[in-house]
Chain A
Amino acid sequence: MSLLDTDRIREDFPVLDRNVASGQPLAYLDNAASTQRPRAVIDAMDDCYRRYYSNVHRGIHTLSEESTRAYEMARKTTASFINAPATCEVIFAAGTTAAINTVARSWGDTHVGPDDVILVLISEHHANIVPWHQLAARTGCRVEFVPMDENFEISDAVVAEYLDRFQPKMFAFAAASNTLGSEYPVQRWTSMAHDYGATVLIDAAQAAPHQQIDVQAWDADFIVFSGHKVCGPTGIGVLYGKQELLEEIPAFLGGGGMILNVTTDGFTSQELPEKFEAGTPPIVEAIGLAAALKYLSAIGMDRIHAHECVLGQRVDAGLRAIDGVRVIGPTADKKAGINSFLIDGVHAHDVSQFLDGYGVAVRAGHHCTMPLHEAMGVTATTRASCYLYNTPAEVDRLLEAVTDVRSKFAKSGRRRRSRRSAESTS
């Protein structure tokens, strides 16, 4: 396992050069929330705006032709990045959240009825819970959760048991948990779920940044991820669906761009992919996303994953060695770059604030996984997440800062100075 040449990579990311408010250099370890952008992405978007930006699919003029070509090339790049058999299976959505909502509406409303079950994992992000709760409110279906064990793991046996018990219509799960860091066996669980006749949706928001997605090997029915977590722009994500399924389910958002014909009586939908892209799409964002996927592919997803594993293990081992720190997540061999933790007697927000003083950017809170936090009996954790541009030195700064947190906030027999006496003596 080896590290990437971070000196070179960091030159590609202008923002990494800055200092934080305290004057310390930035150690950006909040990558699970969102990653930073390389010049390749910034320049591709800038270039579009400067040279050929226009709306797509509509205009018969030079700029529109050029924008349309770039937008459709971005779809091709994305399709090959995930190894999609057909380019029209790649729908550009606003992000993971928008993509899951589209499936819950379009597939859910037509395939799910009262007493049906949608099965998810307890560790799911709210984006893969709330749309199913909403579907339940509309249709009377139920949302059931696969639990984890005391080592924060979910075994094949438990998944099999829940599939068998609930015979779900849909099994929707994250390929990698944004809080625990766990990487789940997507291919195996998908095939198990298919054996029970379930449709499978994979939330690949935390997998796409560092795993080679192969939609054909995974064989899931829907796979979704966000641009901003793969060094791409905000406001764009990918909804992949198997062609026959996308053709069968109805359009969700209605409007311009997605219609073949509109009359005073009704409408007919476009073919794929336009059917699911109502309105002016995220054109420049798609171009930026394609630039990001090319950038990552050029470095190599396997090498990025290996780099993250080395750093993640350093974080995991370092945290476990600090007195009073508890790692919330499985052992290092079952995760990549994400580590969540608790520090005895110190609230996660205070940890994060204190670390900011060291230049270390981490996340504090429930990370949009409230059911998971509830199951663990904690309200908030601190999360450090590494990416391709992070260095061992940054990890060491994190560990140093975490070591100092406890001494800063340890009870030390402090006495509050009475306000009134302070006033009367001044």
Chain B
Amino acid sequence: MMTKTQALRAPVAYFSTPFYVSTPMAHPQDNPDDQDIYQENVLDHYEDPYNRGALATATHAHDGKNPLCGDKIHIDLQLDDQGRVAQAWFEGDGCVISQASASMLLEELEGKSIDEIQSFSAENMLQLFGPRLTPNRQKCCLLSWKVLQGALKRPVGTDADPIVTENDEEIETDPSFGGPSLGEEQ
């Protein structure tokens, strides 16, 4: 058995890597091939989005905005009898990431069941977008994903508060939210 003094003298590794040695943070853009988040595909979706517009026959709809950057997304869904997406349309305004990612999401969506949509995670959404995003930009990319998850619970005709991404209460009452927590900028 180790005595008390031995334990104190033993060089103890408190941390597997010394926490005080500052290593530059791994950055998604370290790989030069991966550098440009505004890849051609992203700009194509931004300029020529999939199903941008309103859907008069929507059965489910929801809005969301990120007040800090002014990104806004509205999604209209039409679910068929089997609970599959017959049509999905979006309207919005904001940065390239928020709008292009919404277009990509909707393109992916048609024919999917509610279960499939609900199991489509925030991580899946970021993968669908493609270029890796820093945490601050992930919120732009995840806005449409959050609005979509919210829309499933909002049949047209019911009144519901829009999603506001910085609103912790909303995030709490919305168990589907798995995105990063996003504080206010200075």
Binding site for B on A (CB under 8 A): 21-23, 33-34, 347-350, 353-354, 357, 363-368, 370, 379-380, 408-409, 411-419
Name the B residues within 8 Å of A408 (CB-CB): 38
Q: Is the CB–CB distance between B70 and A380 below 8 Å? A: yes
Q: Is the CB–CB distance between B27 and A415 below 8 Å? A: no
Bound CA span A353–B100, Å = 15
Q: Shortest distance in angstroms between A410's beta carbon and chain B's nearest beta carbon?
A: 9
Q: Shortest distance in angstroms between B121's beta carbon and chain A's nearest beta carbon?
A: 19
Q: Which 10 A-B pairs have the closest CB atoms?
A: A379-B70, A347-B95, A414-B47, A21-B29, A21-B27, A416-B48, A416-B44, A349-B95, A414-B44, A365-B185
Bound CA span A68–B122, Å = 51
Bound CA span A353–B42, Å = 14
Bound CA span A347–B140, Å = 12
Q: Is the CB–CB distance between B69 and A364 below 8 Å? A: yes
Name the B residues within 8 Å of A367 (CB-CB): 185-186
A21 partner, pick from B30, B107, B108, B185, beta carbons under 8 A: B30
Q: Is the CB–CB distance between B140 and A349 below 8 Å? A: yes
Q: Is the CB–CB distance between B27 and A349 below 8 Å? A: no
Q: Shortest distance in angstroms between B52's beta carbon and chain A's nearest beta carbon?
A: 11
Q: Which of A33, A365, A370 has the most CB of B within 10 A?
A: A365
Q: Shortest distance in angstroms between B164's beta carbon and chain A's nearest beta carbon?
A: 13
- Pairs across A and B, CB under 8 Å, 7 listed: A350-B95, A350-B96, A364-B69, A365-B185, A366-B185, A379-B69, A416-B48
Q: Shortest distance in angstroms between A15's beta carbon and chain B's nearest beta carbon?
A: 11
Q: Is the CB–CB distance between A365 and B69 below 8 Å? A: yes
B68 within 8 A of A: yes
Contact pattern, B 25-53, Cβ under 8 Å of A = 1, otherwise 0: 00111101001111011011111111000
Q: In the complex, what residue of chain A is closest to B27 when comparing beta carbons? A: A21
Name the B residues within 8 Å of A23 (CB-CB): 32
Q: Is the CB–CB distance between B185 and A414 below 8 Å? A: no
A354 partner, pick from B38, B44, B47, beta carbons under 8 A: B38
Q: Is the CB–CB distance between A417 and B44 below 8 Å? A: yes
Q: In the complex, what residue of chain B is closest to A368 when comparing beta carbons? A: B186
Bound CA span A306–B106, Å = 53
Q: Is the CB–CB distance between A353 and B137 below 8 Å? A: yes
Q: Shortest distance in angstroms between A408's beta carbon and chain B's nearest beta carbon?
A: 7
Q: In the complex, what residue of chain A is closest to B133 when comparing beta carbons? A: A353
Bound CA span A350–B137, Å = 10
Main secondary structure of the interface of A (DSSP, over half): loop
Q: Assuming A414-B47, A419-B107, is B186 touching A33 (CB within 8 A)?
A: yes
Q: Is the CB–CB distance between B184 and A368 below 8 Å? A: yes
Bound CA span A411–B43, Å = 9
Q: In the complex, what residue of chain A is closest to B24 when comparing beta carbons? A: A18
Bound CA span A417–B41, Å = 8
Name the A residues within 8 Å of B107 (CB-CB): 418-419
Bound CA span A263–B83, Å = 68
Bound CA span A21–B35, Å = 9
Q: Is the CB–CB distance between A349 and B44 below 8 Å? A: no
Q: In the complex, what residue of chain B is closest to A33 when comparing beta carbons? A: B186
B103 within 8 A of A: yes
Q: Assuming A349-B137, A379-B70, is B185 touching A416 (CB within 8 A)?
A: no
Q: Shortest distance in angstroms between A396's beta carbon and chain B's nearest beta carbon?
A: 23
Q: Which of A34, A411, A414, A417 has the most CB of B within 10 A?
A: A414
Name the A residues within 8 Å of B36 (CB-CB): 357
Q: In the complex, what residue of chain A is closest to B70 when comparing beta carbons? A: A379
Name the A residues within 8 Å of B49 (CB-CB): 416
B179 within 8 A of A: no
Q: Is the CB–CB distance between A34 and B186 below 8 Å? A: yes
Name the A residues within 8 Å of B46 (CB-CB): 414
Q: Assuming A21-B27, A21-B30, is B68 touching A366 (CB within 8 A)?
A: yes
B142 within 8 A of A: no
Bound CA span A365–B95, Å = 11
Q: Shortest distance in angstroms between B119's beta carbon and chain A's nearest beta carbon?
A: 20
Bound CA span A349–B104, Å = 20
Name the B residues within 8 Å of A350 (CB-CB): 38, 95-97
Q: Assuming A22-B29, A365-B69, is B95 touching A416 (CB within 8 A)?
A: no
Bound CA span A12–B32, Å = 31
Bound CA span A22–B29, Å = 7
Q: Is the CB–CB distance between B68 and A414 below 8 Å? A: no
Q: Which of B84-135 touch A at CB < 8 Å?
A: 94-97, 103-104, 107-108
Name the B residues within 8 Å of A370 (CB-CB): 67
Bound CA span A363–B95, Å = 15
Q: Is the CB–CB distance between A416 and B45 below 8 Å? A: yes
Bound CA span A409–B44, Å = 11
Name the B residues within 8 Å of A353 (CB-CB): 37-38, 137
Name the A residues within 8 Å of B27 (CB-CB): 21
Bound CA span A367–B186, Å = 6
Q: Is the CB–CB distance between B44 and A415 below 8 Å? A: yes
Bound CA span A416–B35, Å = 21
Bound CA span A348–B46, Å = 15
Q: Is the CB–CB distance between B137 and A348 below 8 Å? A: no
Name the B residues within 8 Å of A364 (CB-CB): 69
Q: Shortest distance in angstroms between A254's beta carbon and chain B's nearest beta carbon?
A: 28
Bound CA span A412–B103, Å = 18
